[in-house]
A = this chain, B = another copy of it.
Amino acid sequence: MAEIMTLGEIMLRLSPKGHRRFVQAGEFDIVYGGGEANVAMALSNFGMDAGFISKIPSHEIGQAAVNELRKYGVSTSAIVRGGARLGIYFLEMGAAQRPAKVVYDRAGSAFALADPAEFCWNKILASTKWLHFSGITPALGENAKQISFDACKAARDKGIIVSCDLNYRKNLWSLEEAGCVMKELMPYVDVLIANQEQVKSLFGMQAVSAEIKETEVDYSGCQSLCAQLRETWPQLQKIVLSLRGSVSGDDNYFGACYDDGAGFYHAKNYLIHMVDRVGSGDAFSAGIIYAIMNEFPAQEAIEFAVASGVLKHSIEGDVSVEGVEEVKALAGGDGSGKVQR
């Protein structure tokens, strides 16, 4: 069992090659990923001791998902093996004005149907210092919701830091249902990762939206949201809000702001020509977790998290395959993309 544990579902992702549409595909590229699994793999790629908590079928497709986690060094000993199927999602890459398209086929997955009693939290969290999950986990059904609460309570009892990425997915549950459940989970959360829209729509908070462009972003609304969040849940230690501005299917702005309890910070913004944006939020989450665990000063922390998220956009697949030095180089200002030789 590892120092950082993440809890959630890992899925088989199937994507047509290049810019092909689903009906044009003669083959699918295979990736195994999911919000919390991605965070564990990203942290492991940063050299951290990370593990993943889930339930995965014992058949060969499940084994392939486990092997992908192991490949990146993630501890898989807390994974319960069994159940009928691995969740699947089909992803068609977007281009220009055409958005990427996701078809989910995740209902009835081994994790969604897992019995909460299959997870022995005393054992799973025995050597853990940080527990991470996202709003997707409790959204997967009654069992997964119970597992989320069980994990949070066990972490609280053991003094483990809990981070949560709100990660609202409209195809999994309604805003009302999500808001209700996430509000119940918030008292267990030490580090909140979210974006403005999620905070507003799930928690009913109000603020001027920061519209991210290359220059002159007005962060006052974000700062207000942080204040409201702290007022509602005073136990919150750190709040990070990622910011995205969509220029086209190929180009996005990406940035973030950070309330570390002592001050309010924002990172520089990036205009990104994207290769694959799936998992960039998870790379951002991994970045802030890494920065906090390694006690980066606040400004460096948020710059590192944003740089981690930015780099993910250039990487195929769900998983952020980045080294700490690369992220630091970008955070430190080298976005020139010069060949190193």
A68 to B27, CA, bound (A): 14
- The answer to whether A249 has its CB under 8 Å from any CB of chain B is yes
Query: What residues on B are CB-neighbors of A293 within 8 Å?
Result: none
Given A272-B97, A336-B246, decide whether A105 and B85 contact each other with a Cβ distance below 8 A. Answer: yes
Which A residues are closer than 8 A to B by beta carbons? 14, 17-30, 59-61, 63-64, 67-68, 70-73, 84-86, 88, 90, 92, 94-105, 107-108, 169, 171, 246-251, 270, 272-278, 307, 310-311, 313-317, 321, 326, 330, 334-341
A298 to B249, CA, bound (A): 28
CB distance from A338 to the nearest CB of B (A): 5
A30 to B340, CA, bound (A): 20
CB distance from A77 to the nearest CB of B (A): 11
B21/A25 in contact, CB under 8 A:
no
Q: What are 14 inter-chain pairs, A to B, with CB distance below 8 A?
A: A17-B27, A20-B316, A21-B315, A27-B28, A60-B92, A67-B73, A85-B105, A88-B105, A95-B337, A98-B315, A98-B326, A98-B337, A247-B336, A249-B337
CB distance from A212 to the nearest CB of B (A): 13
Describe A's contact surface by its main secondary structure: loop
Among A307, A334, A340, residue most surrounded by chain B Cβ atoms (within 10 Å): A340
Q: Of all chain B residues, which has the CB nearest A90?
A: B61
Per a CB cutoff under 8 Å, which of B14, B71, B314 touches A28?
Answer: B14
Q: Of all chain B residues, which has the CB nearest A17?
A: B27
A24 to B316, CA, bound (A): 9
B103/A60 in contact, CB under 8 A:
yes
A275 to B313, CA, bound (A): 17
Given A20-B316, A25-B30, A28-B27, decide whether A99 and B60 contact each other with a Cβ distance below 8 A. Answer: no
A274/B23 in contact, CB under 8 A:
no
A72 to B27, CA, bound (A): 18
Known: A22-B64, A96-B272. 16 other contacts (CB 8 A): A21-B321, A23-B321, A24-B321, A84-B107, A88-B88, A95-B273, A95-B337, A97-B272, A98-B330, A101-B340, A102-B339, A102-B341, A246-B336, A246-B338, A249-B314, A249-B337
